[in-house]
Amino acid sequence: MQFWCSASNTAWTWTWTAYPGVWAFIALLWFAASRWNRAGARRAGTTSGPMHPAFYGGLVMLWLALDWPIGALGAGYLASVHMIQFILIALLAPPALLKGVSPEALAMIDRSAIIRRLTSPVTALVLFNAIVLLTHLPPVVDALMISQLGSMVIDLLWLTGGLMYWWPVILPVPARPSFVPPLRMLYFIIGLMFSPVMFGLAGFLVYAQHPLYATYELAPPIGILSSRDDHQLAGVLMSIVGAIIAFVGLSVTFFRWNRSEG
């Protein structure tokens, strides 16, 4: 029995497959977040409240991205579904998960110099883009996706990068007043809307004469979508969805800023 989705040279079937490693990871994430909030509440001398509903939405998005069928299709059959996994794991689930961090839990680690440095806007932006670039390089993808451990490493790197990127926006540190709304808006523009890394990767996927990833080029075919069309669709999804998420972030930041100034 497989514990994590990975590439396979067998023909795709719609037969349900169990991935207990994914279930255990989701359960562990919920347990760790709950204990973190309880520990923060104890240190602050308060009672731990219920988790924010958005946190459970983030867990659901992670589960959908990692488990069958999206996890299996993205791991070794369709580059476009692999891109959907990236969007869910790195761009959509992290802000929802961070909503589950209580102020008391955040205050418990706020004094850590390492955490503060890693989640500073500049560091988070650089590391997020570095992770995106590394995990989309064809040699890295083709080398890691063939094993369960390698596939899991890519998924965990995406989640880590996403949490780092969204941390300064969702959990702004009070002692960091310089990250004002105009800079947050610029953060979205550089990080997602006009990111050289994401737009560069999307351009290669869309305009390359041949598919970039052997894992998906040589995968057993599914439906009428050719390997090249699949790669092009992956590039379109990366550029368009990334821009939409950035636009939503920009809009929310602007209207909150405008309301606070009014």
- Comparing CA positions, the residue from 147, 182, 190, 135 lying closest to residue 165 is 190
In this prediction, residue 114 carries a pLDDT of 87
In this prediction, residue 179 carries a pLDDT of 86
| DSSP letter for each residue of 160-172 | HHHHHHHHHHHS-
In this prediction, residue 258 carries a pLDDT of 86
Helix (H) or strand (E) holding 56: helix 53-66
| DSSP letter for each residue of 67-132 | STTHHHHHHHT-HHHHHHHHIIIIIIHHHHHHTT--HHHHHHHTT-HHHHHHTSHHHHHHHHHHHH
In this prediction, residue 173 carries a pLDDT of 64
Rounded Cα–Cα distance for residues 69 and 208 (Å): 28
| Residue 195 dihedral angles phi and psi, to the nearest 5° | -65, 125
Given a contact cutoff of 8 angstroms between Cβ atoms, the answer to whether 126 and 191 are in contact is no
In this prediction, residue 4 carries a pLDDT of 97
Place of tokens 């523009």: 189
CA dist 18 → 3, 31, 66, 68, 141 (Å): 8, 21, 11, 7, 23
Rounded Cα–Cα distance for residues 208 and 136 (Å): 14
Given a contact cutoff of 8 angstroms between Cβ atoms, the answer to whether 201 and 136 are in contact is yes
- Comparing CA positions, the residue from 238, 256, 136, 137 lying closest to residue 192 is 238
Provide the residue-wise pLDDT of the chain in tens; the chain has 262 residues.
Answer: 789 999 988 999 999 999 999 999 999 999 999 999 999 999 888 888 889 999 999 999 999 999 999 999 999 999 999 999 999 999 999 999 999 999 889 888 877 788 888 889 999 999 999 999 999 999 999 999 999 999 999 999 999 999 999 999 998 765 566 788 999 999 999 999 889 999 999 999 999 889 999 999 999 888 888 999 999 999 999 999 999 999 999 999 999 998 877 5
